[in-house]
Chain A
Amino acid sequence: MSFLLNCLTNTKHPLSKPITQPAISIQLLSMQKSLVSITDYSKEEMLRILDYAAEFEKNPNQHILDGKVVATLFFEPSTRTRLSFETAVNRLGGRIIGFSDASTSSSSKGETLKDTIKMVSNYADLIVMRHPLEGAARYASEVAKVPVINAGDGSNQHPTQTLLDLYSIRKTQERLTDLNIYMVGDLKYGRTVHSLLMAMAHFKPTFHFIAPDELKMPNEYKQFCDEQNIPYFEHKELNENINEADILYMTRVQRERFTDLMEYEKVKNVYTLKSKMLENTRNNLRILHPLPRVTEIDYDVDDSEKAYYFDQAQNGLYVRQAVISCSLGLL
């Protein structure tokens, strides 16, 4: 209750909405929680994060994390994600502790994940972690005294990536509902496309899956679409069948996924987006990619106004500012 009062009376509070609408503040108390998997958030919670992210985009420098310590525990290196989270904390005035590589952490001395998390949750108000093993963040959220934000657990989840994808889609299309979402490349192992599919399911999408046989969208997700009455179409080739797309979500086709390397060589070039393929596409089409890219988008696409992947990465900052603040119960 004292928190709520604080939220309502704090005139320096950067975001006007919760101050004027106490009902929302009460709901928001429930968002003081970990974010491990995108399904941990309801549709309403996701939308609220996107609204806050839009506020942070207008004004990214705010002192709402004054006096807070955020631990960034990177049990495997991921410079891109770590810098984005740490920038988010810094721009909100918080402090950072942590490590960027497991070889410098106590886990290299054989300490269990549980012990590391227990120790860190004595020091920090929030843990942001990346780990090579699937389920590590869920387990950490169960043993930690403080909220945990999953910044990637093996090939399982990376929910802030999904939220920044949603943010980018909403920002470029000015809506989330009734969109034609085309997913291209590695749809079998690509965790970003699976999470995006689950998140977009709330917004009446039509999906098109473009992938080689080896990397097709798993049945589990197609079944999910059937259950939710979400139409989807499968294609093997990336060509003029993208003309109806609103969003083209490109992913990396990784060499190590192929048992037959000849097949990889063949497929690699078939799934490269070239600027001439965009000639008859919709004006509102935007191309997204979780980055880093290798060969799947030609450099000549970068100059197209439909290329959005660099702005998409920047949106990650605002979305992470919103997730961090909500996880700490500060919004």
Chain B
Amino acid sequence: MSKTENKQVKIVAAIKDGTVIDRIPSDKLFKVASILHIEELSNQITVGNNLESQELGTKGIIKVSDKFFSDKDINKIALIAPNAKLNVIRDYVVVEKKTLKLPSVLEDIVKCGNPNCITNHEPMMTRFHVEDNHTLTLRCQYCERVMSGDEVKIL
């Protein structure tokens, strides 16, 4: 982390325990916030956006006190902001740095974009195979359609 970024992180107040999601591209910040449903949380939340970043130009950051996200939620972030960094904080110290990584199979994370797919008509879980991590190409296990990350809706 560069010096300026370090300072920026401090601008957004430090938390004692919880999760910090850093290096979110500015235009993806509110999407990340919405898929994590942080508006439904009563935890203390700090959101910063358009902060200076050497790598990204500008970036966003989300800090949630006393909240540790499940792997399923973390995988959802990888769909939108694959290069974001997720830090787990305990007693002001980063105890775990999680690199977001799309699993090879997405189970019940995204909704199939094909209206004629069985998953949109039956009470069942969706299952997508990640065909390409970089281009975010997904294949529905059921209708077998290949779609890009923007064509699917996150559940």
Residues of A within 8 A of B (CB): 37, 112-114, 131-136, 138-139, 153-157, 220
Contact = CB atoms under 8 A, between A and B. Distances in A.
B127 to A, nearest CB: 9
B146 interface: yes
Contact of B142 (A112, A139, A155): A139
Given A37-B144, A156-B143, A220-B146, A134 B116 contact: yes
Nearest to B112: A135
Nearest to A136: B118
Contact of B118 (A37, A133, A155, A220): A133
A133 B144 contact: no
B144 A112 contact: no
B141 interface: yes
B11 interface: no
Contacts of B141: 135, 138
Contacts of B146: 220
A131 B114 CA distance: 16
B122 interface: yes
B94 interface: no
B116, B141, B145 — most chain A CB neighbours (10 Å): B116
| 5 closest residue pairs by CB, A with B | A135-B142, A134-B143, A135-B118, A135-B143, A133-B118
A117 to B, nearest CB: 11
B118 A139 contact: yes
Given A133-B116, A134-B114, A134-B117, A113 B143 contact: no
26 contacts: A37-B144, A112-B122, A114-B122, A131-B118, A132-B116, A133-B116, A133-B117, A134-B114, A134-B116, A134-B117, A134-B118, A134-B142, A134-B144, A135-B119, A135-B142, A135-B143, A135-B144, A136-B118, A136-B142, A138-B141, A138-B142, A139-B119, A154-B116, A154-B143, A155-B116, A157-B144
A51 B145 CA distance: 31
A132, A138, A155 — most chain B CB neighbours (10 Å): A138
Interface in B131-150: 140-146
Given A131-B118, A156-B144, 20 more contacts: A114-B122, A114-B124, A133-B116, A133-B118, A133-B121, A134-B114, A134-B116, A134-B117, A134-B118, A134-B143, A135-B117, A135-B118, A135-B119, A135-B143, A138-B144, A139-B118, A139-B142, A154-B116, A154-B143, A155-B116
Contacts of A114: 122, 124
A132 B145 CA distance: 15
B152 to A, nearest CB: 14
